Amino acid sequence: MTRPALESLTLGQILDRAVAENGDGDAIVYVDRDFRLTYNEFAHVVDQLARGLMAMGVAKEEKVAVWATKIPYWVALQFATAKIGAILLTINTNYKSAEVAYVLEQSDTETLFIIDGYQDTDYLQTIYDLVPELKSQERGRLASERFPELKRVCFLGQEKHRGMYSLPEVMALASMTGKDAYAARQAELDAHDVVNMQYTSGTTGFPKGVMLTHYNIGNNGFWIGENQRFTAKDRICLPVPLFHCFGCVLGIMAIVTHAATTVILEKFDPVQVMASVEQEHCTALYGVPTMFIAVLEHKLFDKFDFSTLRTGIMAGSPCPVKVMRQVIDQLNMSEVTICYGLTENSPVVTQTLPDDDIRRRTETVGRAMPEIEMKIVDPETGVVLPSGQQGEVCCRGYSVMKGYYKMPEATEKAIDSDGWLHSGDLGVVDEDGYLAITGRHKDMIIRGGENIYPREIEEFLYRMDGISDIQVVGIPSKKYGEEVGAFVIRKAGADITGEDVKDFCRGQIARYKIPKYVAFVDGFPMTASGKVQKYKLQERSVEYFPEADAG
């Protein structure tokens, strides 16, 4: 039976179909803790969690935020919220207090799931500091002064914490929701309902909540998997984060739409990646180029067997030719693919195909996905440009977001009246339809696959005493592609140092956003109309930061 190009299924229906196709096959596997669930077992966990959420009072269209690493129940929460019509809001695990507070407030989040912490951030203490009422109020009846919509906080683990539901308690509440009520809730859902929200920054400075539907990410995930020739026999090693689309769409949705197996790692570790691939006979591996380099250059690389690998995805930043050759020859990934996209497009716009040659896979990001239109336009006039000319990349189709949460003006700016999503990226399309990304119309910095928006850091640092003005730019780096650099004009009489600037950021914004380089200047290069010429600051970075490992 031939599958239609696009299907109007909810994420719950997609999971149900995978269960029907491959119920006894592995759905989720963790090598590092010997944890595995078949599709039948995984579906049972999802149903228990979904019914528990309903019993707690989680209503259709409510936001359920998850601030957690890729622990076993993260993926279950992705489908449990979908099955009851709630919206999963994914929070970057690197976020600090100020960033989490902004997301919870702007999104009107009603329910929050957290773990104990990650790296140098204590999530529990952060939430208790932001929501002190948790320590004195009854669970499920939270009345937070700062976050008036927040009703309940849950700990995504076994331990009990004051004011929070533990995971076993949420699961135990499932008995309070009857099967008929659960089925009735699912019957209310529509594939065009919002199911996922992810925060992405922009040139306006503050992150925007991108609203994605079942239809958006279900179909995009399917085609991502099709372009890797996935079947239920494939086993995909997934070391990338789940809080953004690389993990939860390119990964989870491409896998579940094909009833394949997710071999997951809670955090990236090259040895764990190699062990997982060998032990589970993985056929695909995902990562940004720096992850593949870490595996290829590891001293234990020759100790592991990669003969089962065939495909996978490299995305996040351009792939060097040398690395691509090593991935194909040494990792046996002859069909590895490259993707380009943005969260607002669910996310993949273009993807290379398994048969594309190395040049296509290193010099381009592939051709437009099925059912997605793409065009290159003049950024100033909007006129469509012919092949070979650089302009802004625009796309249109089923995958375009529903909009930014509570930001209608920003939504109208991103999606024009004809339905075209403006990416802000500059590119060139050749005569065969292959897209090459040539630059960024906006000032985004890409550090090791993480998108960093200078305006967000600038807005944060404007709060610091002693700073009169600041401009943040990308500084070339051999290891990460770019690092964050800050050019600061001090207030009169201020004697702040570069370390003071970094200290002000620590614990407040994600570590990867903290400027690695800080220079103090008397003024910025300006255009005649008074606009700061950031590219001139970048050109002077060698002068100001001779210690930088510029490529």
Question: What CATH number corresponds to the domain at position 495?
Answer: 3.30.300.30
Write down the pTM of the prediction. Answer: 0.85
Contacts of 118 (CB under 8 A, 6+ apart): 69, 93, 94
Cα(189)–Cα(39) distance, integer angstroms = 22
At residue 6, φ and ψ (nearest 5 deg) are -130, 140
* Residue in the structure block whose two tokens are 């792939």: 319
- Decide which of 191, 208, 225 is a domain's last residue: 208
Q: Classify residue 332: in a domain, yes or no.
A: no
334: Cβ contacts below 8 Å, ≥ 6 apart:
310, 328, 354
Alpha-helical (H) ranges within 108-205 are: 123-130, 167-172, 179-187
Q: At what angle do helices 11-22 and 73-83 cross, to 10 degrees?
A: 120
Query: Any idea what the CATH number is for the domain that residue 100 is in?
Result: 3.40.50.12780
Q: Are strands 165-166 and 194-200 parallel, antiparallel or unpaired?
A: unpaired
Whether 259 is covered by a domain: the verdict is no
Q: Is residue 370 in some structural domain?
A: no
Whole-angstrom distance, CA of residue 118 vs CA of residue 449:
19
Last residue of a domain, one of 171, 192, 208: 208
Whether 511 is covered by a domain: the verdict is yes
Domain assignment present for 130: yes
From 160, 183, 208, the end of a domain falls on 208
Q: Could you tell me the residue range of the domain that residue 533 belongs to?
A: 445-544
In angstroms, the Cα distances linking 535 to 136, 315, 427, 476, 541 are: 52, 25, 18, 12, 10
Q: Does any domain span residue 267?
A: no
Question: Quick one: which of 207, 220, 285, 278 has its CA closest to 248?
Answer: 220
Residue 498 lies in a domain: yes
DSSP state letters, 331-363? S--TT-EEEEE-GGGSSEEEE--TT--HHHHHH
- Count of domains observed in the chain: 2
In the chain, what is the greatest distance between 2 CA atoms, to the nearest angstrom? Answer: 75
Is residue 455 a contact partner of residue 443, using CB atoms and an 8 Å limit? yes
Amino acid at the residue 433: G
Kindly give the confidence (pLDDT) of every residue in the chain, 551 residues in length, as a single tens digit, with 9 standing for 90 and above.
Answer: 567 889 999 999 999 999 999 999 999 999 989 899 999 999 999 999 999 999 999 999 999 999 999 999 999 999 999 999 999 999 999 899 999 999 999 999 999 999 999 999 999 999 999 999 999 999 989 999 999 999 999 999 999 999 999 999 999 999 999 999 999 999 999 999 999 999 986 434 578 999 999 999 999 999 999 999 999 999 999 999 999 899 999 999 999 999 999 999 999 999 999 999 999 999 999 998 878 988 998 999 999 999 999 999 998 767 778 889 999 999 999 999 999 999 999 999 999 999 999 999 988 999 999 999 999 999 889 999 999 998 999 999 999 999 999 999 999 999 999 999 999 888 999 999 999 987 666 677 888 888 887 878 987 998 899 998 888 999 988 888 899 999 999 988 999 999 999 999 999 999 999 999 999 999 888 754 455 778 788 888 888 888 887 65
Tokens found for residue 341: 């996209």
- How far is 316 from 338, CA to CA, in rounded Å? 9
Q: What is the pLDDT of residue 469?
A: 83
- Extract the tokens encoding 242: 């789940």
- On whether residue 100 sits in a domain, the answer given is yes
